Amino acid sequence: MDRRKVKTQQTKQPPVIPGSDEKYLLEELENIARTLNIQVRTEKGDFTSSLCRLGKEHIMFLKKDEPVSKKVDVLARELALQNLENINIIPAVQKILDEAASVEKRHAH
């Protein structure tokens, strides 16, 4: 009988490493925003990326020429202020949102 050990594959979510697949993280954050009925727009212009309210609509404006990492930071910061209780969020994105929320709490005090 063959007595070799068999390695089992684990399906753990890899930790978020700065610079790792930021485009994927941005897409996930944009999907969360859409779930919350927040329109995400990437525009050229002289403005600061932020969440705005126009009438009854909520629109997240992101500067087109900013690096993806900056867009992720801004979107995470704004989404961390929203009620995300009933939204299924992957662990990598949840970690980013938690970090953004802790930064916001430090700035509020």
User: What is the pTM assigned to this prediction?
Assistant: 0.76
DSSP 67-94: -HHHHHHHHHHHHHTS--TTS---HHHH
Q: pLDDT confidence of 105, banded at 50, 70, 90?
A: low
| C-alpha to C-alpha distance for 108 and 22, rounded to whole angstroms | 27
Helix (H) or strand (E) holding 96: helix 91-108
- Tens of pLDDT, residue by residue over 23-59, are 999 999 999 999 999 999 999 999 999 999 999 999 9
